[in-house]
Amino acid sequence: MPTLKEIKGRIGSVRSTLKITSAMKLVSSAKLRKAQNAIAAMRPYQQRLEAMLALAFGSMSESPEEALSSEDIVIPSRPEGGIEESPAVIVAVASNSSLCGGFNANIISKVRSVRRPGDVVYSIGRKMSDAMARDGFRSPEDLSDLAEHPAYAKAAELVQKLSEDFYAGRISGVTLCYTHFVSTSRQVPVVERLLPMDEIPGTAGVMPGPDRASDAILEPSARELLETLIPKTLKLKLYAALLDSAAAEHAARTIAMQTATDNAENLLAELTLQYNKGRQQKITSEILDLAGGQAAELD
């Protein structure tokens, strides 16, 4: 049975841990709100961009002289010749630190399930980079800063490089793996294809027709507009994934620190009760010894 001194030492240790987990929970909650605000600020721009793409796509489908080449722009085709031998690229997003529950373990497991021998993995976040390096998939670049501080410029630079490699035939495609923020209590690992594009955002299940573009005048042409906007869409998609993953990370850490705080409070209550019982027992024992000594003197 532990002594009162040992129990008191454990109480002090648990109290210190409780202060740390409480502070980390508050910090993560503040970062989560900041990440959610960043996503909310980006969403109107994303929606407007998708609407412009859908409009240009509809206008292009109406134009007979441009219809033959529309698919090459809307759904980029893979280069011909030896593409089967070109490696695929996976852009995998995790975090730089731990103490966020199963956030890192879940997305690393998802990447391992879709990864194939010969693939190239661009790891964003030290946890992902370390896990992939142990598996023999060392990242060509150090992108750990993007996990903690998502930046559109760096995301756009990476997408530009991967797009050039794809159209040159050096890679066969690009897959994006990240954690989607659903709610504070739920984060879901997802896998999306970045290149080649499956479809123009906002046009799924919609047949372009006169009602979509007849009231719009496009200058320059729809083809030139798509050639400009599609690269922006790809860059924005990666940036949105980074923001989404950051929000999911902070949400997971908030929940993990809340759970740790609750556990620490329960343990502290148990140790305090144990300490008080031991102290009371010791006092009672001393009183009994004192009373026994007095009785012996009277005899």
Give, for 147, the enclosing helix (H) or strand (E): helix 144-148
Beta bridge partners of 189: 179
Number of H helices and number of E strands within the chain? 8, 4
pLDDT at residue 210, rounded to an integer: 43
In this structure, the number of other CB atoms found within 10 A of the CB of residue 205 comes to 5
Query: Could you say which residues of the chain have pLDDT below 70?
Result: 1, 59-85, 198-216, 291-299
In sequence order, what are the residues at sequence separation of 6 or more whose Cβ sits closer than 8 angstroms to the Cβ of residue 116? Answer: 88
pLDDT at 119: 93
pLDDT for position 132: 95
Distance from C-alpha of 170 to C-alpha of 120, rounded to nearest angstrom: 11
* pTM to 2 decimal places: 0.80
For position 277, what pLDDT does the model report? 85
Looking at residue 293, what is its pLDDT?
64
pLDDT of residue 208: 44
Report the relative pairing of strands 120-124 and 88-93 from DSSP bridges.
parallel
The structural domains of the chain, ordered by start, are: 4-20+258-298 (1.10.287), 21-254 (3.40.1380.10)
Residue 155: per-residue pLDDT:
93
One-letter amino acid of 222? A
